[in-house]
Each structure stands twice: as structure tokens, then as C-alpha cells.
Amino acid sequence: MKFVTWFPYYQDIRSKFGYSTEKDQNSAYLLSEKIKRKSLDPNVLKKKIQGKSVFVIGSGPDLKDYLQFIKKNRTILKIVADGTVKFLMENGITPDVVVTDLDGDPKFLHKAEKSGAIMVVHAHGDNIEEIEKLVPKFKKVLGTTQVMPVTNVYNFGGFTDGDRAVFLAEEFGAKEIILVGMTFGNTVGNYSKSTQDIDIKKEKLKIAKKLLQTLAKNSRSVLYDTSKKPITGFKEFEPT
């Protein structure tokens, strides 16, 4: 998604939650500085994703129900939202790509990278401390932001880790995107950020769902959803 297309969505989100564009932009600059010697060329992701079927795995309340399905389909590329990393790795599954704003368990984020996962780290105004503390420990990072892109920090669209993972897969030309554990309802999954106000989390999920509905209207990928109530624009997918 081009920045000029994305920015009006960001402005609505900023207005709703009271975010500071200045803080978001400063966070992007900080991430850019932290990864200037270890930024990942986006072409690495393009080669990994383009033309492939991918799972985008989130931290929905029904995530455990899909464990055997994920294990059975280990060869499918797995793009994983932050908190889901812990669940997967505790069950012997290594993510291929991790989309994180660094509020997941740091131990498992670093373990995922050591196991071969590509780390896509997002900068925003509320995670400056985490960027300072955790990013130096990663070997390679692809940086993202929700405001103006800066050197080695990109904006592919999306708001939460889960929907940003879908926008990422779309950006790099996935043939099929299959949502797993991406339930945008009133129940927050156990592997979502536990310290966050539940009502705020629910509002964020509503926005994430709307963004994916918008994406579906112009997506080049074939979009599937394993949940019982697929997102509008996504085809129903029955896990087997």
C-alpha cells in the first residue's frame, strides 16, 4: 500500500486513540538508527513470500484449535503475529516471519530469530523503550512504521501485528493468504498482550478487521479465513 493511500487511515486511528504523530515518527527514526548496520533488504522477504501460499497466524481465542492443522501443514510459510510466537514455539513450531511491535515475550522473539525467523519490527510512539532495549539483540531486522517511511523503515500498511502481517504478505506478492487464529470478535486470546486494556484491545481489533476488509477489495492475493465467520472479502477455508 502506498503511503498516500495509507495515511488517511492512520489519521483516523490517531484521532481515535490520541496517538502522537510526532512520537510515532521519532520512534521510526530511532528504529532506523538502531538497525542501520543490520537492516534487512526487503527483497529477502519478496523471495520468501512471492508466489507462495502463506499462513498468517494470530493470537485469537481459538488458536489452540488449529495446532494440529498448523503442524500438519508445516511446509506452508508461516507469518506470525507477536504474541503467537510463544504458543507456536512451545509446541515445536518455528515461525518463518515474525511481525512484532516488541510487546511479546522477548525470550521467544529472540529464540524465533535464532531458529531462522525473519524479524519485522514495528516502531510506534509507545514502544520506544522496547526498541532501545531489544532491537540491539537482533542480528537482522526489517523495520516498519505507521507514519512516514525513513531509511530502512517501511510502511506497508496495517495497524495491529495481525493485520500488518496480512498487509506484508500482500505487499510481497503471496499467492494465497490464509488467516489462522485471526478472530476479530469480542474475546481476546490468551496470547495477546495481557497488560493492555481489554476494551482498547477490542477497539483495535475492530479497526484491524475493517482494514482487512478494505484490503480485500483490491488484493492481488487470494484471501482465505479459517474462522467460523470469515472477514468480508475473504473466502471460507475449512482446516483439514
**What is residue 198's predicted lDDT score, i.e. its pLDDT?**
81
Which residues have C-beta within 8 Å of that of residue 2, sequence separation ≥ 6?
Answer: none
Q: Which of 126-130, 138-142, 187-191, 212-216 has the lowest mean pLDDT?
A: 187-191
SS3 call for 155: coil
Q: Among 165, 146, 159, which residue's Cα sits nearest to residue 208?
A: 159
CA distance 101 to 40: 17
* DSSP strands (E only) in 64-152: 77-81, 97-100, 118-123, 142-145
Q: How confident is the model at residue 195 (pLDDT cuts 50, 70, 90)?
A: very low
How do 77-81 and 53-57 pair as beta strands? parallel
When pLDDT is cut at 50, 70 and 90, the band that residue 143 belongs to is: very high
Q: Which residues of 144-170 are buried (b: 16+ CB within 10 A; e: fewer)?
A: bbbbeebebbbbbbbbbbbbbbbbbbb
Mean pLDDT for the stretch of residues 210-236: 96
pLDDT of residue 199: 86
Q: What is the mean pLDDT of residues 209-236?
A: 96
Task: State mean pLDDT over 169-177.
Answer: 98
pLDDT in tens, 68-94: 999 999 999 999 999 899 999 999 999
Domain ranges of the chain: 3-236
Q: Is 61 helix (H, G, I), strand (E, B) or coil?
A: coil
Q: Which CATH topology does 3-236 take?
A: sialyltransferase cstii, chain A (3.90.1480)
